[in-house]
C-alpha cells in the first residue's frame, strides 16, 4: 500500500440544537501512513471543520476518553491506525466513524457516560477496607503476590466504555449492569483487603444483574486492554453459589442446566421456563409460549436421553471434582 493517500471519513454527526436526527458528514483528507484515527479527527477539526466534536485527552491509550466506533467496532481512536482500518472498510478508503452505542449522544461523537458512572456507584465499585478508618496509613496489609493474580487484569480497565457500547444486553435493557461494572465488582470481591463482598454480591445477583448476560463475548472482543471480562462474569456467578445466593431465576436456571445435562445429557427446554421462573413467573411467558406453539416450535416435554448420557455424567462429575480441588 502507498504511504500517502486520500481517505474519506464518514462521521456520524448530530447537534441536537439544530439537527432533527444524526447524519453522516464526509471529510476527504490526504493522510500519510502511521497516522491514528484520533490524529485524523484532530486534523479535520483544526483544518476543515471546527464544529466537529469529539473527546480526547492523553492520546496514549490510558485515559479512555476517545472511545468511538470505527468501522462499526468500539475502540480507542488514539490507538487505532488509519492504515489498519483501511483493510476493514466496506467501501474502499472510506472509514466510518460513529459515537459509542448504548449511550445518549450529547453532540457528534460525544456521549453521556453518566449512566455508566451511576452503575459503578449502584454496585459499590470500591474497596471497603478491612483497616479501620482511624488506623489507615499505619501499616501495610499483608498481601502475597499470588493474591493479586485474579485482579491484575481487571485493574487494567480504563473505563473507556467500549464493552458497554458493544454489549447486546445493555442495548436491550438500559438498566442492565453492563460488562465493565461486573468486571469492577469482581475486582473488588476478589481483593483480599475488601470487606463488602457479601453486600456487593447480593446487589449483583438482583434483576438487571449478572444473570442477564448471555455470553455473546462481544465485550471480551471489544476490550481495548484485552481483559478476559467473561472470567469475571463467571467468577461472580460462581460466588453467588458459594455465598448460598441460589434463590434467583438466574441461579436456578444455571442449576437446572447442570442437573439436566447430568441427568439425560440434554436440556429439557419445554419445562425450563417453569422451573426457572416458577408458576407465577411463568404467567408472563404464556403469550410467548403460544406464539412458539403457533410456529410449531414447542420442544418435546420429555426429551430422550442422549445415547452417551453416562459419559456426559462422568465428564460433569470429573469437572466438579477438579473445581472443588482448586477451591
Judge contact between 166 and 143, C-beta under 8 A: no
Which residue of 23, 24, 46, 215 would you call a contact of other proteins, by CB under 8 A?
46
124: contact with other proteins by CB under 8 A: yes
35: contact with other proteins by CB under 8 A: yes
Q: Which residues contact 67 (CB under 8 A, 6 or more apart)?
A: 74, 75, 76, 77, 100, 160, 161, 162, 165, 224
CB of 256 to other proteins, least distance (A): 36
CB of 166 to other proteins, least distance (A): 20
- Choose the stretch contacting other proteins; rule: CB under 8 A; options: 77-85, 212-220, 285-293, 319-327: 77-85
User: Could you tell me whether strands 105-107 and 110-111 are parallel, antiparallel, or unpaired per DSSP bridges?
Assistant: antiparallel
- Determine the Cα–Cα distance for residues 230 and 208; give it in Å rounded to an integer: 17
Query: What is the C-alpha R_g of the chain?
Result: 24
User: Could you tell me whether strands 94-98 and 67-70 are parallel, antiparallel, or unpaired per DSSP bridges?
Assistant: antiparallel
Burial 35-51 (b: 16+ CB within 10 A, else e): bbbbbbbbbbbeeeeee
Q: Which of residues 47-66 bind other proteins (CB under 8 A)?
A: 47, 50-51, 53-65
Which residue of 72, 104, 121, 257 would you call a contact of other proteins, by CB under 8 A?
121
Q: Pattern 80-109, binding to other proteins, x per CB under 8 A?
A: -x-x----------------------xx--
Q: Binders of other proteins: how many residues, by CB under 8 A?
A: 71
CB of 144 to other proteins, least distance (A): 5
Q: Pattern 272-291, binding to other proteins, x per CB under 8 A?
A: --------------------
Is the CB of 4 or the CB of 92 nearer to other proteins? 4
Judge contact between 132 and 193, C-beta under 8 A: no
Q: Which of residues 127-146 bind other proteins (CB under 8 A)?
A: 127-129, 131, 133, 135-145
Segment holding 110, helix H or strand E? strand 110-111
Tell me what percent of the chain is helix, strand and coil, each rounded to the nearest 5: 45, 15, 40
CB of 212 to other proteins, least distance (A): 23
Judge contact between 211 and 250, C-beta under 8 A: yes
Is the CB of 194 or the CB of 206 nearer to other proteins? 194
Q: Which of residues 155-174 bind other proteins (CB under 8 A)?
A: 155-159
Task: Give the CA-trace dihedral at 152, 153, 154, 156, to 10 degrees.
Answer: 100
Q: Which of residues 178-207 bind other proteins (CB under 8 A)?
A: 188, 191, 193-194
Which residue of 28, 72, 93, 152 would you call a contact of other proteins, by CB under 8 A?
152
Is the CB of 31 or the CB of 312 nearer to other proteins? 31
Amino acid at each position: 500500500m502507498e504511504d500517502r493517500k486520500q481517505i474519506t471519513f464518514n462521521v456520524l454527526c448530530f447537534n441536537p440544537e439544530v439537527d432533527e436526527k444524526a447524519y453522516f458528514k464526509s471529510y476527504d483528507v490526504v493522510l500519510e501512513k502511521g497516522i491514528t484515527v484520533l490524529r485524523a479527527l484532530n486534523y479535520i477539526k483544526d483544518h476543515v471543520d471546527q464544529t466537529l466534536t469529539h473527546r480526547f485527552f492523553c492520546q496514549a491509550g490510558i485515559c479512555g476518553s476517545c472511545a468511538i466506533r470505527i468501522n462499526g467496532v468500539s475502540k480507542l481512536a488514539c490507538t487505532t491506525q488509519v492504515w489498519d482500518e483501511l483493510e476493514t472498510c466496506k467501501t474502499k478508503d472510506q472509514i466510518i466513524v460513529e459515537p459509542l452505542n448504548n449511550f445518549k449522544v450529547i453532540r457528534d461523537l460525544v456521549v453521556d457516560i453518566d449512566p455508566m458512572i451511576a452503575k459503578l456507584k449502584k454496585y459499590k465499585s470500591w474497596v471497603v477496607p478491612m483497616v479501620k478508618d482511624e488506623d489507615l496509613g499505619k501499616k501495610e496489609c499483608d498481601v502475597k503476590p499470588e493474591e493479586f493474580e485474579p485482579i491484575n487484569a481487571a485493574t487494567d480497565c480504563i473505563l473507556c466504555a467500549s464493552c458497554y457500547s458493544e454489549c447486546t444486553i445493555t442495548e436491550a435493557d438500559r438498566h442492565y449492569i453492563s460488562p465493565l461494572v461486573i468486571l469492577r465488582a469482581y475486582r473488588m470481591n476478589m481483593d483480599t483487603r475488601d470487606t463488602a463482598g457479601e453486600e456487593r454480591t447480593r446487589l449483583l445477583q438482583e434483576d438487571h444483574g449478572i444473570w442477564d448476560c448471555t455470553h455473546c463475548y462481544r465485550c471480551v472482543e471489544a476490550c481495548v486492554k484485552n481483559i478476559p471480562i467473561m472470567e469475571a462474569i463467571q467468577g461472580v456467578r460462581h460466588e453467588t453459589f458459594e455465598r448460598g445466593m441460589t434463590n434467583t431465576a438466574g441461579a436456578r436456571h444455571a442449576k437446572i442446566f447442570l442437573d439436566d445435562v447430568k441427568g439425560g445429557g440434554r436440556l429439557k427446554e419445554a419445562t425450563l421456563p417453569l422451573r426457572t421462573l416458577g408458576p407465577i413467573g411463568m404467567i408472563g411467558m404464556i403469550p410467548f409460549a403460544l406464539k412458539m406453539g403457533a410456529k410449531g416450535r414447542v420442544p418435546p416435554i420429555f426429551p430422550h436421553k442422549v445415547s452417551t448420557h453416562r459419559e456426559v455424567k462422568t465428564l460433569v462429575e470429573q469437572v466438579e471434582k477438579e473445581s472443588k480441588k482448586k477451591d
